[in-house]
C-alpha cells in the first residue's frame, strides 16, 4: 500500500509525504522545519522517521526547510547531480547526506523504486519523480515549462499523477507581473499552464491513471476552480471516470491511498 499527502503545494512552498510500508519519502522541503514537524506529528510521525528526502530542484519554494532540518537529522537526500551541486554550494554541511541519482535510473529506497526524470525549468537540473512500490505507482511532475518526451512517456498511466497546473495563461498576460517575469512563467523553462495540464492529464487518464491531483497552483494567476474546470473539461471529454482534485496551497491536503498490486517498476 502507498499513501500520499501534500503538506503544501504552491509557488510559495512545496512538500509531500509518500509512504510505502515503512519507507517514508518526503518529496521537497519547501516548508519550515516547524511546519514539517507539525504535519508529520498529525500523522503520528517525527522528522526523524523520514527514510529519505527527494529534492526536485533548488528553488526556495522546494528547499526552504532544508538548512534547519539538516542541523538535526542525517536523512539521505536524493536529487540529480546538478541539484546536489547547487545544494552543496549553498549548504556545505549537506554534502555527506547527498545521494545524487542519474536521471532515468531507478534507485531503490527501502520498499520503493524512485526514478528522477528530466524537466525543463530555470534551475540547474530539475527532476520529475516516479515512485513504484507494492500498491502502485505515483508520478510527480511540477516546475517544468513543457513536458519532455521521456518524462511524459514514463509517467503516463501512473496510478496517482500529481501534476502542475500553475496558471491560466490569460491571467498571467493580463496580470501585474513585469514583462520579464511573465516571459519566465510562460516560457519553456517556466511552469505548466492549466491548458498544458489538461492535455497531459487526458493522455494519462487514457493510459490508466485513476487519480489526478493538480499541484503548484499560482496564487496570483490561477484559482482552484479555474484549474478544475480546464482540466476537468478535458478529462470529461476523454470519458474519464477517475478522481480529480486540487492540492491545497498552504495546508496539508487529503490522504490518498493506493492498493493496487504491481509487478516491476
- Distance from CA of residue 169 to its chain's centroid? 21
Q: Of the two residues 177 and 240, which places its CB atom closer to Zn ion in the complex?
A: 177
What distance in Å separates the CA atoms of residue 251 and residue 247, rounded to the nearest whole number?
9
Of 60-68, 106-114, 156-164, 239-247, which part binds Zn ion (CB under 5 A)? Answer: 60-68
CB of 163 to Zn ion, least distance (A): 13
**Cell 542525517 belongs to residue:** 74
CB of 211 to Zn ion, least distance (A): 22
What distance in Å separates the CA atoms of residue 134 and residue 242, rounded to the nearest whole number?
21
Q: Of the two residues 24 and 216, which places its CB atom closer to Zn ion in the complex?
A: 216
Of 47-55, 61-69, 173-181, 244-252, which part binds Zn ion (CB under 5 A)? Answer: 61-69
Q: Judged by CB under 5 A, which of 7, 24, 33, 59 binds Zn ion? A: 59
Q: Judged by CB under 5 A, which of 61, 159, 164, 196 binds Zn ion? A: 61
Dig out the grid coordinates for 160 from the structure.
496517482
Q: Of the two residues 23 and 165, which places its CB atom closer to Zn ion in the complex?
A: 165
**Which H or E run includes 77?**
strand 77-79
Which of 212, 102, 85 has its CA nearest to residue 161? Answer: 212
Q: Across-strand partners of 212?
A: 161, 244
What distance in Å separates the CA atoms of residue 172 and residue 196, rounded to the nearest whole number?
14
| Chain residue at closest Cβ approach to Zn ion | 59
Dig out the grid coordinates for 87 from the structure.
545544494
CB of 261 to Zn ion, least distance (A): 33
CB of 123 to Zn ion, least distance (A): 6
What distance in Å separates the CA atoms of residue 44 and residue 17, rounded to the nearest whole number?
13
Q: Of the two residues 63 and 158, which places its CB atom closer to Zn ion in the complex?
A: 63
Dihedral sign, Cα of residue 263, residue 77, residue 16, residue 39:
positive
Q: Of the two residues 27 and 131, which places its CB atom closer to Zn ion in the complex?
A: 27
CB of 88 to Zn ion, least distance (A): 18
Say whether residue 58 binds Zn ion (CB under 5 A).
no
CB of 84 to Zn ion, least distance (A): 16
Site for Zn ion (CB under 5 A): how many residues?
Answer: 3
Of 35-43, 57-65, 149-157, 254-262, which part binds Zn ion (CB under 5 A)? Answer: 57-65
Which three-class secondary structure state does DSSP give residue 128? strand
Q: Are strands 23-27 and 77-79 parallel, antiparallel or unpaired?
A: unpaired
List the interface residues with Zn ion, window 118-157 (CB under 5 A). Answer: 143
What distance in Å separates the CA atoms of residue 243 and residue 235, rounded to the nearest whole number?
10
Residue 203 CA: distances (Å) to CA of 100, 189, 239, 256: 31, 22, 11, 21
CB of 242 to Zn ion, least distance (A): 25
Write out the residues near Zn ion by the rule CB under 5 A. Answer: 59, 61, 143
Amino acid at each position: 500500500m502507498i499513501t500520499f499527502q501534500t503538506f503544501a503545494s504552491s509557488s510559495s512552498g512545496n512538500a509531500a509525504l509518500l509512504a510505502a510500508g515503512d519507507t517514508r519519502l518526503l518529496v521537497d522541503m519547501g516548508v519550515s522545519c516547524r511546519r514539517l514537524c507539525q504535519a508529520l506529528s498529525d500523522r503520528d510521525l517525527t522528522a526523524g522517521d523520514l527514510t529519505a528526502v527527494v529534492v526536485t530542484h533548488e528553488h526556495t519554494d522546494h528547499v526552504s526547510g532544508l538548512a534547519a532540518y539538516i542541523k538535526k537529522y542525517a536523512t539521505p537526500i536524493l536529487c540529480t547531480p546538478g541539484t546536489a551541486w547547487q545544494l552543496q554550494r549553498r549548504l556545505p554541511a549537506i554534502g555527506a547526506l547527498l545521494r545524487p541519482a542519474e536521471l532515468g535510473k531507478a534507485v531503490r529506497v527501502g520498499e520503493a523504486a524512485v526514478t528522477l526524470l528530466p524537466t525543463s525549468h530555470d534551475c540547474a537540473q530539475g527532476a520529475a519523480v516516479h515512485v513504484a512500490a507494492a500498491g502502485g505507482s505515483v508520478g510527480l511532475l511540477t516546475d517544468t515549462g513543457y513536458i519532455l518526451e521521456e518524462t511524459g512517456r514514463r509517467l503516463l498511466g501512473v496510478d496517482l499523477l500529481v501534476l502542475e497546473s500553475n496558471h491560466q495563461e490569460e491571467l498571467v498576460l493580463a496580470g501585474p507581473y513585469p514583462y520579464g517575469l511573465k516571459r519566465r512563467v510562460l516560457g519553456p523553462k517556466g511552469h505548466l499552464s492549466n491548458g498544458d495540464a489538461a492535455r497531459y492529464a487526458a493522455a494519462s487518464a487514457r493510459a490508466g491513471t485513476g487519480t489526478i491531483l493538480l499541484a503548484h497552483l499560482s496564487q496570483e494567476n490561477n484559482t482552484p476552480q479555474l484549474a478544475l474546470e480546464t482540466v476537468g473539461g478535458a478529462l470529461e471529454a476523454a470519458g474519464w471516470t477517475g478522481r480529480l482534485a486540487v492540492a491545497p496551497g498552504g495546508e496539508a491536503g487529503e490522504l490518498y491511498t493506493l492498493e493496487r498490486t504491481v509487478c516491476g517498476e
